[in-house]
A and B are shown apart, each in its own frame.
Chain A
Amino acid sequence: MEQHQKSVARTPPTSTIAQRKSKSIGYRQSYHSCLSATSRLGLTSALTVRRLNTTRRTPKSHNITDKVNPEHLSLLVKTEWQLSYVTPLYQFRHTQLRSYSRQLSAFIAAEKQQGLAVEVEGLHSSFRVLFSVVQGLSESDDDPETVLIQIHSKPLFGKQDEPQKPIWSGWLTCINGNSEYLRSLPEDFTCLPLFGSNGSEDLTSAVKSWFKQTFDCCFGPLEISNTNLQWLVALWTNCHREYDIQYLKMIWTLPVVPPLQVSYTVNSTDAWDLWNSVRQEMRAGEDEAENVNSIDIEEVIHFFEGLKNHFYRHFRLDLSGGSLNHISSALGSAKLSGRIKIAYSRYMITTLTLLTECALLKMPV
């Protein structure tokens, strides 16, 4: 038993915290550069040094189906999106979407034409781009409206009258973006920092280059760090009170030869009980009504320590030595590589809020 005690103490409980610290330094640096950039533009330097939030509001179920066109919503859910961050767009107008559709179709057609020896007749009509506003998919008043881009094309060897099929889609959004930052932007800039795409690499890079040329912005890959994956796990588990998340699955990869993958799937009720107990222990003596609507990073860390300790007690294997790279539940899935899938729309605002924050922090301005 004594040995057992010791072994528990050996699971480094500080590793996540240590990791977090180093991460937040990194974020702070990127915000430093952001600060100097904004001041160079002669703007208010109201923006204080900011890091990843340590407290978040508990997820609320949103009647998103009432606000957002169900057709748009069905395009957003149940698809796996590859995420990127985008710097603010210069002179982007939500009123010009029609003209953007035309420009991007022409751009893609031109890109495809490069290297083609023969001019194919009617090439311009082979790609049809459609920009649209996803009405209602925004949270705070400062959030610009979400933009959805769809590309349709005729199959290469399809018949003449065959309808065009969607071959690529993507969106740009900003949910609960830091209002201080959004307000500090000059008028000509629109900030939609989170970009998700689904479709061929070629088209994604074509769309990105058109945006770069047209709106003087830049794109970069958005990875979902270990800490943010843990945040998502906690936020999703918290939803179990109202919606059965069915299971909670986490996959770690341990750096051994050959690499070892550990998938840890917890029964949703048991995960919720553990989460609830961590919340209660952490909040003992506090005014409950006041804090019930927020989640603290400490709670997330404790929750994961509980999960890891339970694992260690059986396998004497330290999960902190590996990296968490995939999480999923009935609400959706997220991967370290920046892929995300939303399976249940009512809590998508919470997920997108976290991701918007990640994108804003990742942005080098």
Chain B
Amino acid sequence: MDDSIKRLLQRIIKRIPFEMLETTLEKWGRLTEAQRNSLDFTQSKWALTERLLAICEENEWSIKSITDLEMIYIIENPNLGMWNAFQLLDPDEGAHSVDLLQFKKQFKSHLSELIRHVSVKIKKHTDEAVWIRIAWGDNFSRPNHLKPTYVVHHLQTPYVFMTSLNSKLKPLLSQALILSTKHQTIKDANLRGRNLSSIRDLLMRQYQQEFPTKYPSPLAEKNQTLSNRHIEAEHAQAAANRHRMACEAFGRGTLPQLQSAVYKLETKFRDHTNKTMTEREEPFRCVVKFTSTNLLESFRHCASSGIASTPVSPLLSSVPSKGRNYFVVTDNGPGPTQLSQSQN
């Protein structure tokens, strides 16, 4: 039996946490009743691995079956790597009618035309997402199954999410994707995060948003008794206003999880107390990176608590409204405070 199959199985089992091993193997469904019963989950993981390797030899599992196990685990636990979002542009006629079968066939044939040694496995998940696992080789070597790329695409949407992709292979993958989804181009959506469902929700606007309104609360009766609590009321109103604007900018309830946002600022330094710098021709170059366990919730709290002034800066609200977390900011506009966000 090929050693590489065993090594791959060993690697995958090592990755799967012990408490998830039993359910994952069950979903995989390649063990016979007797084999399943022979696995003792009170044993150490090492002993279990040994037993599975023996079964592997017995059943003569192929590399395809083993990668299937990996896919089941990754689909269930997608938040282990860094996901990059891409956007497909300029759909051709018929882009809306691409079905799974057609996509599968097209994608595989296009990719294998571009690169000789490549192994592709496509699986449809319950939530309409198509999961693609690609193991890359090159003209001289066989596909390396230990470092696969994962691609997630929802058919009929313009978004594609990728993880662990070598920049050299990106053009090949992009090419295969646009051909098989019937689009003209693909571009970096400048959105990165560890939580796949969050970046997907952000791009597809699937979270609780709030829209600006002229009458934020039901009209109140005018004949309320006036008391000395005027100031309190004013403060409460200011706080409520800040809270409303914060929610308008970032949404309500639980927000999609992003870990960071990066802004590359190349704007002029303007400060009325500092003439020398204001008159300086060159932009002031700096990079600002925000990090948090849930960036949008932190931003919302900044605005509602008053650490960030309201209305919220368009740079911050651009993260949810544009679905991006990487920006290059330059002064292109004519106005003194105009900021334009160009793509990298």
A-side interface residues toward B, CB under 8 Å? 1, 4, 7-8, 10, 254-267, 270, 273-274, 276-278, 280-281, 302, 306, 309-311, 313-318, 321-322
Q: Is the CB of A256 within 8 A of B291?
A: no
Q: Is the CB of A317 within 8 A of B271?
A: no
Q: Which residue from chain A places its CB closest to the CB of B305 in the assembled complex?
A: A256
Total interface residues on B, using CB and 8 Å? 45
The 10 closest A-B CB pairs, nearest first, are A277-B276, A267-B285, A260-B298, A256-B301, A316-B313, A321-B307, A317-B308, A316-B309, A266-B286, A261-B291
Q: Of A255, A309, A316, which is within 8 A of B308 by CB?
A: A316
Q: Is the CB of B297 within 8 A of A258?
A: yes
Contacts of B277 in A (CB 8 A): 273-274, 277, 306
B-side interface residues toward A, CB under 8 Å? 263, 265, 267, 269-277, 280, 282, 284-295, 297-299, 301-302, 305, 307-313, 315-316, 329, 336-337, 339
Q: Which residue from chain A places its CB closest to the CB of B294 in the assembled complex?
A: A258
Q: Is the CB of B315 within 8 A of A315?
A: yes
Q: Is the CB of A315 within 8 A of B316?
A: yes
Bound state CA distance, A10 and B311, in angstroms? 14
Contacts of A318 in B (CB 8 A): 307-309
Q: Which of B272, B307, B336, B339 has the most CB of A within 10 A?
A: B307
Q: Which residue from chain B places its CB closest to the CB of A312 in the assembled complex?
A: B309
Q: Is the CB of A316 within 8 A of B312?
A: yes
Given the contacts A309-B271, A315-B316, A281 and B294 also touching, CB distance less than 8 Å: no
Bound state CA distance, A345 and B286, in angstroms? 26
Q: Which residue from chain B places its CB closest to the CB of A313 in the assembled complex?
A: B270
Q: Of A7, A254, A255, A263, which is within 8 A of B289 by CB?
A: A263
Q: Is the CB of B293 within 8 A of A258?
A: yes
Q: Is the CB of B285 within 8 A of A266?
A: yes
Contacts of B305 in A (CB 8 A): 256
Q: Which residue from chain A places its CB closest to the CB of B266 in the assembled complex?
A: A267
Q: Is the CB of B288 within 8 A of A263?
A: yes
Q: Which residue from chain A places its CB closest to the CB of B313 in the assembled complex?
A: A316
Closest-CB distance, B198 to chain A (whole angstroms): 14
Bound state CA distance, A227 and B271, in angstroms? 23
Given the contacts A261-B290, A317-B307, A322-B307, A277 and B313 also touching, CB distance less than 8 Å: no
